[in-house]
Structure 1
Amino acid sequence: MLKMAGEVEIFKMEKRQDAIKIEELKGSLAHLQNHPAEPPILKPPAGPSDLEKNLETETKYLRDKLREQERLQEAKMRLWEQ
């Protein structure tokens, strides 16, 4: 009987400790819910993205096309001057 009484006291003590721990965790949870996490810091990509590569390719193509048109225009101007 004394053994059971001792076990009951142990369980009551554990219950009080668990209740305290639960209240601490509730407080921590409330704090975390009121303070949203900061967004992670993203590292810049190691190299250009596919979109940047495509834009660079398109830009180069358009520059080359413009130079070709300029050369053709200059050639036409020289022909007209003759």
Structure 2
Amino acid sequence: MVEEFDSLHVVCHLDSLLTQRGLSLTELSRHVGVSLANLSVLKNNRAKAVRYSTLIALCQVLDCQPGDLFTVKARSD
């Protein structure tokens, strides 16, 4: 069963949401209380996990839903 998920990955749309909201990653970092380094990892699709508290803070500041931040897509190797 796990093998069927190997062909999928989660894509973060933080960059486009920041552009739409006119915010920088630095400003977002200050608003949500998450380090710039951790937000950069998330934005660049290198994160392995996201805390619910971080997800909630991001959604509140960006006025969005989790589905606006992330989508699941097939890997293109």
State TM-score, norm by structure 2: 0.18
Larger Rg: 1
Greater strand percent: which structure? 2
State TM-score, norm by structure 1: 0.17
Greater helix percent: which structure? 1
